[in-house]
Structure 1
């Protein structure tokens, strides 16, 4: 099933390889979040050295548009996972090493702009993260922004990441 023309323009903005500009990131906050998620010190330090890069696409799976995310920045020896998240708000569970078992739901936000809201949580309930992913135009160029509110216990942390389309 193809995406209808009206939706194709929206979907095409997401397609491509997006590489972090690192200009909005606060690594101290990101490291704190990764610590709460149980990521080891060594993996956190390796993560600091890697520039995040994801391949994004909007695909149709079983008649439902889905966001496909390929983690391109992970070394091939660790595997480069590809995830497909239906954009209809339904919850899915999956295993995402090194984060463990997660549950997530994604939906396109109605209204102006090109926004996908993505809720993800540890299945054990130890943390949640609410993401707003958007495609925004800046000086004639499109950028992909990820704004995250991470919660664990009473702690609330905000992360902003900015990606540039590189392919």
Structure 2
């Protein structure tokens, strides 16, 4: 289901599921493989359904936080992501990806200029251009100066096939310099 006009990058609260017909499942599977997720688990993820429950809050002082509860069918445990939109890098331990470092922040489309054309591309809605995009970068925390994988995301509301869609554009680089560009489109399931 398409997003109602009340859902913007200023308030992404709601439930979503990835639209497998519109998203690039092959590239997502490749990315998970480069991140060390085994074949059996990747196939279960491909067959199952991932539901995101997003809670987007703004404090009276203007501090934003996005909490995402990931629910997976097929008995695969989900996870919770706490993402303050302050640009500060933080560590996190995840049962699927191990130790990671990440930041999340709001950027204007103008400030996104240094980003690749792919990341800032898309047909962002007027309200997304006005409120800004959400940028997040996640990298494997392998320690000892070793290179790990890196995901660079831009999130926003995009006009796609005449419908408003929550979209994640991902530029991925693996530990061995593998490169992928992935667009994930989500269906809105309601509040």
Q: Which structure: greater strand fraction?
A: 1
Q: Tell me, which stretches of 5 or more residues in structure 1 are unaligned?
A: 1-7
> 1:166 maps to which residue?
189
1:92 to 1:61, Cα distance in 2 relative to 1, 3 A = farther
> 1:116 maps to which residue?
134
Count of aligned positions: 158
1:156 aligns with 2:179: yes
1:9 to 1:157, Cα distance in 2 relative to 1, 3 A = closer
Alignment of 1:13-92 (within 5 A): 14-60=12-58, 64-73=63-72, 78-92=76-90
1:21 to 1:99, Cα distance in 2 relative to 1, 3 A = same
- Determine the C-alpha separation between the residues in 1 that align with 2:177 and 2:76: 33
Q: Identify the structure with bigger relative contact order (alpha carbons < 8 Å, sequence gap 6+).
A: 2
Q: Is the 8 A contact 2:22 2:184 kept in 1?
A: yes
Q: Is the 8 A contact 1:70 1:81 kept in 2?
A: yes
- 1:105-128: CA deviations, max 9, x gaps? 011112425421110000013110
> 1:4 maps to which residue?
none
- Determine the C-alpha separation between the residues in 2 that align with 1:33 and 1:54: 19
- Secondary structure at the aligned position of 1:23 is classed as coil
Q: Tell me, which stretches of 5 or more residues in structure 2 are unaligned?
A: 1-6, 110-128
- 1:46-90: CA deviations, max 9, x gaps? 011012220112124796311111102356x65432221110100
TM-score normalised by length of structure 2: 0.73
- Determine the C-alpha separation between the residues in 1 that align with 2:47 and 2:188: 20
Cα deviation for residue 142 of structure 1 reads 3.0
